[in-house]
């Protein structure tokens, strides 16, 4: 909330009409300055960071004119960001690289997106000659736990289309993402003194491990890519008496996604048949769906973004998101919302980094999109 309050104040100080609501959403609007009926276009980023690593007291390192060598993450002796492990670093030789110090994540997911939007806004308000239609700005909380737009008022935002600035490396453009669900499994065991446990003890930890072994090994994240989905065990807590396992389930295909949920239920049924009813309790919850079916009928917004990226001097790379964005849920709520690169890499961990030049390109893409929307309508007058 402190960051959201700051962003709202910065927008107001720039002369932008903006407000922060009770749920933690900042919404701003810049009126059109062209004499044409241009649709309102929004740009959205989230301010929360992933819970996978600490985001507190971040101490970024700024490496200017990166020479392609290993980068020491000085907060932890002996820890390096190495091109041998992350060869994409070499694509950014000569650029300014921002990294963590190895003790926290960086937070470029998605504070890079926040910075890029604010940079574009600053340019727009200081260059009244820049032609654009109505602009909408949105900053959201809670994206990383899948609740980023639960209270987002689409009608109040009042945009025809929007783009999330929440992707990876420069040039990426995405309009399809995983279908996503969470799965929580509670295993109820039976604890008996190990000296007299024969035929009586049911070790919940081991039963949970057996449950996990029933899922296909090749469908774990570390063995998948592209359009391939997965089952991902994200946490475990347990004792002999009871244990809890948490998974996320992902697939781009809605059909395969539904089959994965059925497979999870079949594993729970097997455990209950073997060890007794009530041993395994499964709770499945859908989180979001593939935005493609909602965005594709408005494919012109993808084409405009593709041209905007090319006009920024980058090679557009349209690809599926192996994850999700606020835009997925917004698309299903009537606001078609593809995703554009924010420039960062190695999100959700201490090896996170972002090139300054990629962030500058992302900001330019925002301006290019607005120019293309305005020019398209001006030419139709």
Decide: residue 3, CB within 10 A, 0-12 exposed, 13-18 middle, 19+ buried. Answer: middle
pLDDT for position 381: 46
pLDDT for position 380: 44
Please give the sequence-ordered ranges of beta strands (E in DSSP) within 109-229, or none if there are none. 135-140, 161-167, 172-174, 179-188
Residues known to be catalytic: 48, 143
| Domains in the chain with CATH codes | 2-177+290-379 (3.40.630.10), 179-288 (3.30.70.360)
pLDDT for position 323: 82
Query: pLDDT band for position 325 (50/70/90)?
Result: confident
Is the confidence at residue 353, as pLDDT, over 50? yes
What confidence tens digit (pLDDT) does each residue in 22-41 have? 999 999 999 999 999 999 99
How far is residue 342's CA from residue 112's CA, in Å, rounded to a whole number?
Answer: 6
Query: pLDDT band for position 291 (50/70/90)?
Result: very high
Mean pLDDT in the chain?
95
- CA distances to 62, 172, 302, 372 from 309, in Å: 26, 9, 11, 11
Is the confidence at residue 147, as pLDDT, over 90? no
CA 181-182-183 angle, 5° bins: 125
With beta carbons less than 8 A apart as the criterion, state whether 303 and 311 touch.
Answer: no
Compute the Cα dihedral for 10, 34, 136, 309 and give only its sign: negative
Helices (H), the chain: 2-13, 108-126, 154-157, 204-213, 254-275, 292-295, 300-311, 326-332, 356-379
Is the confidence at residue 146, as pLDDT, over 70? yes
pLDDT for position 377: 59
pLDDT for position 336: 97
pLDDT, mean of residues 255-278: 97
With beta carbons less than 8 A apart as the criterion, state whether 196 and 258 touch.
Answer: no
pLDDT, mean of residues 35-55: 94
Is the confidence at residue 130, as pLDDT, over 80? yes
Is the confidence at residue 379, as pLDDT, over 60? no
Is the confidence at residue 320, as pLDDT, over 60? yes
Is the confidence at residue 52, as pLDDT, over 90? no
Backbone angles phi and psi of 163, in degrees to 5: -135, 135
With beta carbons less than 8 A apart as the criterion, state whether 327 and 339 touch.
Answer: yes
With beta carbons less than 8 A apart as the criterion, state whether 108 and 354 touch.
Answer: yes
The DSSP bridge partners found for residue 26 are 20, 139
Is the confidence at residue 310, as pLDDT, over 80? yes
- For the chain, percent of residues with pLDDT exceeding 90: 93
Is the confidence at residue 154, as pLDDT, over 50? yes
pLDDT, mean of residues 211-225: 97
Q: Is the peptide bond before 329 cis (omega within 30 degrees of 0)?
A: no
pLDDT for position 260: 98
Is the confidence at residue 346, as pLDDT, over 50? yes
Is the confidence at residue 196, as pLDDT, over 70? yes
């Amino acid at each position: 909330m402190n960051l959201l309050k700051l962003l709202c104040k910065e927008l107001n100080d720039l002369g932008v009409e903006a407000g922060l609501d009770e749920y933690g959403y900042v919404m701003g609007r810049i009126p059109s300055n062209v004499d044409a009926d241009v649709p309102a276009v929004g740009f959205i980023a989230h301010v929360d960071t992933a819970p996978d690593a600490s985001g507190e007291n971040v101490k970024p390192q700024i490496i200017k004119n990166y020479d392609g060598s290993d980068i020491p993450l000085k907060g932890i002796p002996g820890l390096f960001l190495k091109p041998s492990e992350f060869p994409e670093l070499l694509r950014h030789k000569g650029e300014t690289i921002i990294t963590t110090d190895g003790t926290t994540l960086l937070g470029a997911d998605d504070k890079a997106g926040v910075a890029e939007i604010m940079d574009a806004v600053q340019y727009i308000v200081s260059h009244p000659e820049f032609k654009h239609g109505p602009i909408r700005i949105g900053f959201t909380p809670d994206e990383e736990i899948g609740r980023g737009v639960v209270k987002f008022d689409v009608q109040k935002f009042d945009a025809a289309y929007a783009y999330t600035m929440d992707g990876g490396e420069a040039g990426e453009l995405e309009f399809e993402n995983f279908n996503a669900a969470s799965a929580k499994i509670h295993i109820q065991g039976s604890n008996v003194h190990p000296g007299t446990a024969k035929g009586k003890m049911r070790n919940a930890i081991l039963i949970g491990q057996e449950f996990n072994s029933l899922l296909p090994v090749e469908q774990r994240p570390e063995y998948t890519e592209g359009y391939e989905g997965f089952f991902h065990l994200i946490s475990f807590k347990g004792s002999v008496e009871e244990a809890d396992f948490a998974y996320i389930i992902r697939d781009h295909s809605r059909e395969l996604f539904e089959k994965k949920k059925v497979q999870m239920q079949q594993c729970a049924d097997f455990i209950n048949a073997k060890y007794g009813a009530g041993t395994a309790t499964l709770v499945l919850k859908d989180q979001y769906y593939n935005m493609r079916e909602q965005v594709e009928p408005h494919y012109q917004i993808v084409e405009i973004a593709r041209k905007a990226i090319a006009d920024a001097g980058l090679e557009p790379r349209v690809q599926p998101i192996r994850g999700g964005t606020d835009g997925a849920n917004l698309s299903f709520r009537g606001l078609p919302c593809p995703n554009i690169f924010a420039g960062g890499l190695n999100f959700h961990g201490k090896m996170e980094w972002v090139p300054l030049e990629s962030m500058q390109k992302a900001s330019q893409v925002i301006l290019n999109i607005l120019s293309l929307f305005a020019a398209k309508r001006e030419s139709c007058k």
